[in-house]
Amino acid sequence: MVMMKGEQWSNLGSKMAAIMFVYAMLRQYFPPQLQDYIFRYGKKLSNFMYPYIHVTFDEFIGERMKKSEAFSAIQNYLSDKSSASAKRLKADVVKDSQSLVLSMDYNEEITDEFNGVKLWWSAKRTTPKTQQFSFYPGADEKRFYTLKFHKRDRQVITGIYLSHVLKQGKAIAADNRQRKLYSNGAGQGWLGNRSSTTWTHVAFEHPATFDTLAMDEKKKREIKKDLVKFSNGKEYYAKIGKAWKRGYLLYGPPGTGKSTMVAVMANFLNYDVYDLELTTVKNNVELRRLLIETSNKSIIVIEDIDCSLDLTGQREEKKKKKKKDDKNEEGDPISAMSKNEERKESEVTLSGLLNFIDGIWSACGGERIIVFTTNHVEKLDPALIRRGRMDKHIEMSYCRFEAFKVLAKNYLDIDSHPLFGEIGNLLEETDMTPADVAENLMLKSDDDDDDDDDEVETCLKNLIEALKTAKDEASKKAEEDARLKAEKEQKEKEEAEKEQSVKEDVTQHAISAKEVKDNGVIH
Ligand SMILES: Nc1ncnc2c1ncn2[C@@H]1O[C@H](COP(=O)(O)OP(=O)(O)OP(=O)(O)O)[C@@H](O)[C@H]1O
Ligand SMILES: [Mg+2]
């Protein structure tokens, strides 16, 4: 925030400077009392002619690193005011892709009134006069708001008005907030080599909620409670001296709702989602930069953590192998190209990730949830999932009757049905994912209501069929597994026996040989 007299003042200033210059030339001819008099009244005159103070609010603070919070708050505050009074408006922020949020256009001025005090806001931008070549288009553009008020109102403005604007602006932002889904894409640098990755975003509009999530009610309640406790826990985390963040590990077979759960959490807490694709992150430094750039009130999710990170220390072996290959392929242009491809492989390490999760950087920002999802919890390095890093482990499991009831309510709008009993029994005996159950509950047509009951029944019957098939397949598979297991055991047994007999033979042979040697007898 910079306090200054305005542009008009600078015009006036140049005139005053000319007057002062003439005055300085002539002052030697004036007596000292008259000099004082002229000076005092000159100042009064200028104040009288231009009694306003201007305050500017720049968009960025600190070397363009961080967007000024005040700027954003003012933008929101003014967009609310200006849609009523300004004549030229700019429609830029779109909420839920439904409504336009209007804000005043550049060089437009609007008047605001606060406790009987009148003041004026205007939006401005400066573009550099000289045409310079820049790597970042628009990087040199400077945007700012200017507030103009009478100097007699200084106390009111700096005392209460500005904090009122900030508070209102933030409240409007919270109402208008269009949540975002960020993902990190690999930027393409010059000559096709990879430049560093950055976050890009789209509006986050996933409709899943706890009500539509098929899961045990008790488990749902527990997770909700946990999330609420976290989001209200600012003081608590400060008190215990821990960074305000929480880690969740979602594990379970494919199609059990892990990704859906992330959307549900984000909708429940009204947070943004950062979908971090580790394989496109070049190295640990880049990982740290990306993570620092995330805003608070967000969920950072790393899907299929077991696939995206080399957790087993095989990286070293791979590197050695690569070196060997490099030597073999020197001079071959095709292999050189494929080598380039390989170099794109991420160098993010487990320790790099852990370092961010609970290293010294983890306290930057705060109010962040980190979610890992995996299909193979047993493959994960214990260091990654120990408590403190992943505070809560949530198992997403196959669809049982409780979960089915949620799906039936959502998909077919029914709470009960005579076929529920049979379905319940089958679900207890058969492992079917909520994704598969849901697929069977999709109504095929949406015409007349008359046929609805029939269609519901058909859906449920289809589900029963699918469950029976799955059950048969599962039992066949179990039989097959048992048979293979028995066969394997039998084979192993036979091999062991064979080995034993060979061993015995060898021993026998050795004994005979020894006898021959000792006795010098040849039979
Ligand atoms: N528990 C659930 N409640 C409601 N719908 C579900 C549930 N689980 C899965 N589904 C449905 O199945 C689809 C797939 O689910 P989702 O992508 O969340 O599974 P996932 O566990 O992330 O699978 P993967 O391990 O393959 O990533 C979703 O579109 C959703 O509609
Ligand atoms: Mg998933």
With a 6 Å cutoff on the Cβ, whether 122 touches ligand 1 is: no
- Own/partner contacts of 303-308, CB < 8 Å, gap of 24 or more, are 303/258, 303/259, 303/275, 303/373, 304/373, 304/374, 304/375, 305/278, 305/372, 305/373, 305/374, 305/380, 305/384, 306/374, 306/375, 306/376, 306/379, 306/380, 308/277, 308/278, 308/279
Residue 251 CA: which ligand is closest? 1
Closest ligand by atom to 258 CA: 1
Starting from the CA of residue 433, give the closest ligand.
1
Closest ligand 1 atom to the C-alpha of 407?
Answer: 4
Q: Are 180 and 94 in contact (CB under 8 A)?
A: no
In angstroms, the first-to-last Cα distance of the chain is 111
Interface ipTM above 0.90: yes
Q: Is 301 in the pocket of ligand 1 (CB under 6 A)?
A: no
For position 329, what pLDDT does the model report?
45
440 in ligand 1 pocket by Cβ < 6 Å?
no
- Whose CA is closest to atom 27 on ligand 1? 254
pLDDT score, position 318 = 46
Residues in the chain: 523
**pLDDT tens track of the chain, all 523 residues?**
444 444 555 565 566 666 666 666 666 676 777 777 766 776 677 667 788 888 888 887 765 556 677 888 888 888 877 766 666 776 665 555 555 666 777 777 888 888 889 999 988 888 766 555 545 444 567 888 999 999 889 888 888 999 999 998 888 877 777 788 999 875 544 444 556 678 888 888 899 999 999 999 999 999 999 999 999 999 999 899 888 989 999 999 999 999 999 999 999 999 999 999 988 888 888 888 888 888 888 999 999 988 877 654 444 444 444 444 444 444 444 444 444 444 456 678 888 888 777 777 677 778 899 999 999 988 888 888 887 788 899 999 999 999 999 999 999 999 999 999 999 999 999 999 999 999 989 877 665 555 677 889 999 999 999 999 999 998 999 999 999 999 999 999 999 988 888 888 887 777 777 776 776 555 4
The pTM for the full model equals 0.67
Say if CB 385 and CB 249 are below 8 A apart: yes
| Whether residue 408 has its Cβ less than 6 Å from ligand 1 | no
Give the residue range(s) of CATH 3.40.50.300 domains in the chain.
182-309+348-395
User: What per-residue confidence (pLDDT) applies to 283?
Assistant: 85
CATH class of the domain whose range is 182-309+348-395? alpha beta
